[in-house]
């Protein structure tokens, strides 16, 4: 449970982020719902949470922009209090074969998926250190260790999150701040649904459990790592991938 804690989930307009924000609120956290472009969807997440009796606000943030990160945290601190639980879920893709991938495609994905997490962690940590409490959960992907054709930028960024996570975990352990990674496999979202039945059948053939996962299954792992019960878990990578990446 995370009762009374202030949680900030980036990329919480839909999918895994929305499910994580909702699950944390269900556990009693007051949740800041981060969004970059779709305020309407973020407000829908807030409405879901408040409709169930929780506390939530939507907050604009572009994680690759340090001034936007500072502004978002200042808003949260004024409205809810200092961030105690940080879930870095914001991410973008810009797929393309390596030989055709532009510098812009590479830079954009690295700046949002990896540098963005660095920005938010750096902003959150001073207050966590003073409080001698913090939970940081970074959302990676199974492609971080399997690789993905046409996803050199995305795979590199998601792999980088593990190194960032474990460095942060070692640096901050003495202050009772944990930092962990959740690595989803194929998850059923609006985006994957648009890929059609053939994609879903292909996933089922690769995943030992025979199906894509759900955002709620990822949210359960995130909520556990954010809880008081996970106080002795840090620097861990928790796969939520139906067994797709087992052995790595």
What are the residue numbers of the active site? 154
User: Measuring CA to CA, how many Å separate 97 from each of 37, 101, 110, 132?
Assistant: 27, 6, 16, 45
User: Measuring CA to CA, how many Å separate 234 from each of 58, 88, 92, 167?
Assistant: 28, 16, 26, 11
Strand 6-9 and strand 30-35: the pairing is parallel
Cα–Cα distance, 68 to 98 (Å, whole number)? 31
Count CB neighbours of 208 within 10 A.
9
CB 242 within 8 A of CB 185: yes
Cα–Cα distance, 153 to 107 (Å, whole number)? 8
Considering only CA atoms, which of 228, 192, 221, 220 is closest in space to residue 207? 192
Phi, psi of 50 (to 5 degrees): -70, -30
């Amino acid at each position: 449970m995370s009762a009374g804690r202030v949680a900030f989930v980036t990329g919480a307009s839909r999918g895994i982020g929305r499910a994580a924000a909702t699950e944390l609120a269900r556990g009693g956290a007051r949740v800041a719902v981060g969004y970059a472009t779709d305020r309407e969807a973020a407000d829908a997440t807030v409405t879901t949470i408040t409709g169930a009796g929780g506390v939530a606000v939507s907050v604009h943030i572009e994680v690759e922009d340090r001034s936007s990160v500072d502004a978002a945290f200042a808003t949260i601190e004024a409205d809810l209090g200092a961030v105690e639980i940080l879930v870095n879920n914001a991410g973008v893709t810009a797929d393309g074969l390596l030989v055709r991938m532009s510098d812009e495609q590479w830079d954009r994905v690295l700046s949002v998926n990896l540098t963005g997490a660095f920005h938010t962690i750096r902003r959150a940590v001073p207050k966590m250190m003073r409080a001698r409490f913090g939970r940081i959960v970074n959302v990676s992907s199974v492609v971080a260790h399997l690789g993905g054709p046409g996803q050199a930028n995305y795979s590199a960024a998601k792999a980088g999150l593990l190194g960032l996570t474990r460095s942060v975990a070692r640096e901050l352990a003495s202050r009772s701040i944990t930092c962990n990674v959740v690595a989803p496999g194929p998850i059923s979202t609006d985006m994957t649904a648009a890929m059609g039945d053939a994609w879903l059948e292909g996933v089922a053939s690769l995943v030992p459990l025979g199906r894509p996962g759900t955002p709620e299954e990822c949210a359960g792992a995130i909520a556990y790592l954010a809880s008081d019960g996970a106080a002795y878990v840090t620097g861990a990578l928790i796969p939520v991938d139906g067994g797709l990446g087992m052995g790595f």
